[in-house]
């Protein structure tokens, strides 16, 4: 596989940084959707629907050829303000799946009425005040509160501008360690996918393809894939490629069971809780990876799910593959990933799109 040159790497890192640092929990993706519009508009006709799903019909779209939908979801796991206590603390509710014990003693951003994002700390009682029972019991999300520094509820609302149902996201800056090829940031599920989809459009910019391509940046994946249902109905694709930031297993799984390790390429899952991947399309993708010496990993997942689970059931059925970029510690504040895995994901997607033509559907046989 040919690696990115210096310019391409710089462009990719800029995309990842911008997407990672944007604020967009499920249902509140407006800021990230606007970013996607700005970054993807050079590569096709862009539109946004009422849910904030962003569509990019690639230059050269004709409407009478094999139609391919690319997907990556804009939203990140976050929180929402449930209520404001008299003492100024904010009760919260989860947007997406969290392990409650990972939430305390971290910094978050809360959006105010005027659209400004302010700092908040997840409150935790100092160990000096904990009873023995409190030391031993696990924390639940109902017990967790956010502290914005207000001294009372009135101050939280009137001076800080915080309101009920305000969105909340982790406060994390993106960083890249070139010497170890490591990416550090928040929301890699699925902002790495958003960046990879955008980079795929850039890599193919100006190139003639034998298929029509619509890239859909979808919303609300973390709370049930609601945006992907709408995008799939609108695009009416024949095939779909879903980009994901997928949980790495190399820091806890036995060596002979690891299927999503950092630095070994994207993972193509055969099955998860939401989808049995179309065997013919999976075979086609794996053969394409071997042909171009693109490192990939194969996964058999007992849990988890992606937008592919919803997209593949739309219309008369849409053969779908998932290109998952391994990320350690997704659904927390921070994630580790490798730029080389990002590059391999983009390369595989571009080679698949170059290979598609009017005979492709006939080739998707087991």
**Burial (Cβ within 10 Å: 0-12, 13-18, ≥19) of residue 322:** buried
Q: Could you give the angle at the alpha carbon of 362 between the alpha carbons of 305 and 279, nearest 5°?
A: 30
Q: Are strands 175-177 and 117-122 parallel, antiparallel or unpaired?
A: unpaired
Phi, psi of 31, deg, nearest 5: -65, -45
Residues constituting the chain: 366
| Catalytic residue chosen out of the listed positions 221, 222, 244, 343 | 221
**Preceding amide of 244 cis, omega within 30:** no
Which residues lie across from 120 on neighbouring strands? 108
Examine the residue annotation and report whether 362 is marked as an active-site residue of this protein.
no
- How many Å separate Cα 191 from the centre of its chain? 4
Backbone dihedral region for residue 263 (phi beyond 0: left; psi -120 to 50: alpha; all else: beta): left
Nearest Cα residue to 96 out of 266, 304, 239: 304
Extended strands (E) in the chain: 44-48, 54-58, 67-73, 78-84, 90-95, 107-111, 117-122, 145-147, 167-170, 175-177, 182-185, 212-218, 239-247, 267-271, 297-300, 320-327, 335-338
Q: How far apart are CA 197 and CA 2, in angstroms?
A: 18
Which helix (H) or strand (E) covers residue 64, if one does?
none
- Residues marked as catalytic: 221
């Amino acid at each position: 596989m040919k690696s990115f040159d210096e310019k391409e790497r710089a462009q990719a890192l800029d995309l990842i940084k911008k997407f990672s640092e944007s604020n967009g929990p499920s249902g509140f993706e407006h800021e990230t959707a606007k970013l996607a519009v700005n970054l993807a508009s050079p590569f096709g006709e862009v539109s946004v629907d009422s849910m904030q799903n962003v569509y990019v019909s690639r230059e050269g779209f004709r409407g009478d050829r094999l139609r391919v939908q690319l997907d990556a979801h804009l939203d990140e796991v976050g929180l929402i303000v449930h209520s404001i206590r008299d003492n100024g603390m904010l009760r919260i509710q989860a947007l997406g799946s969290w392990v409650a014990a990972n939430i305390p003693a971290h910094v978050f951003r809360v959006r105010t009425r005027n659209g400004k994002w302010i700092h908040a700390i997840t409150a935790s009682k100092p160990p000096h005040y904990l009873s023995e029972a409190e030391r031993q019991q696990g924390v639940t999300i109902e017990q967790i509160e956010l502290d914005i520094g207000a001294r009372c509820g009135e101050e939280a609302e009137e001076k800080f501008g915080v309101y009920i149902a305000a969105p909340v996201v982790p406060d994390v800056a993106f960083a890249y360690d070139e010497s170890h090829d490591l990416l550090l940031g928040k929301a890699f599920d699925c902002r790495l996918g958003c960046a990879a989809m955008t980079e795929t459009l850039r890599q193919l910019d100006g190139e003639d393809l034998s298929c029509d391509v619509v890239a859909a940046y979808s919303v609300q994946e973390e709370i049930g894939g609601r945006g992907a249902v709408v995008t799939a109905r609108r695009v009416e694709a024949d095939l779909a490629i879903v980009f994901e930031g997928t949980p790495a297993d190399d820091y806890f799984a036995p060596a002979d069971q690891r299927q999503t390790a950092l630095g070994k390429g994207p993972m193509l899952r055969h099955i998860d809780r939401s989808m049995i991947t179309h065997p013919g399309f999976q075979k086609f993708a794996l053969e394409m990876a071997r042909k171009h010496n693109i490192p990939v990993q194969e996964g058999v997942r007992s849990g988890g799910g992606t937008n592919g689970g919803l997209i593949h059931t739309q219309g008369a059925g849409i053969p779908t593959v998932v290109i998952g970029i391994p990320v350690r510690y997704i659904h927390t504040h921070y994630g580790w990933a490798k730029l080389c895995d990002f590059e391999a994901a983009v390369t595989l997607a571009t080679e698949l799109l170059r290979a598609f033509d009017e005979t492709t559907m006939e080739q998707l046989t087991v």
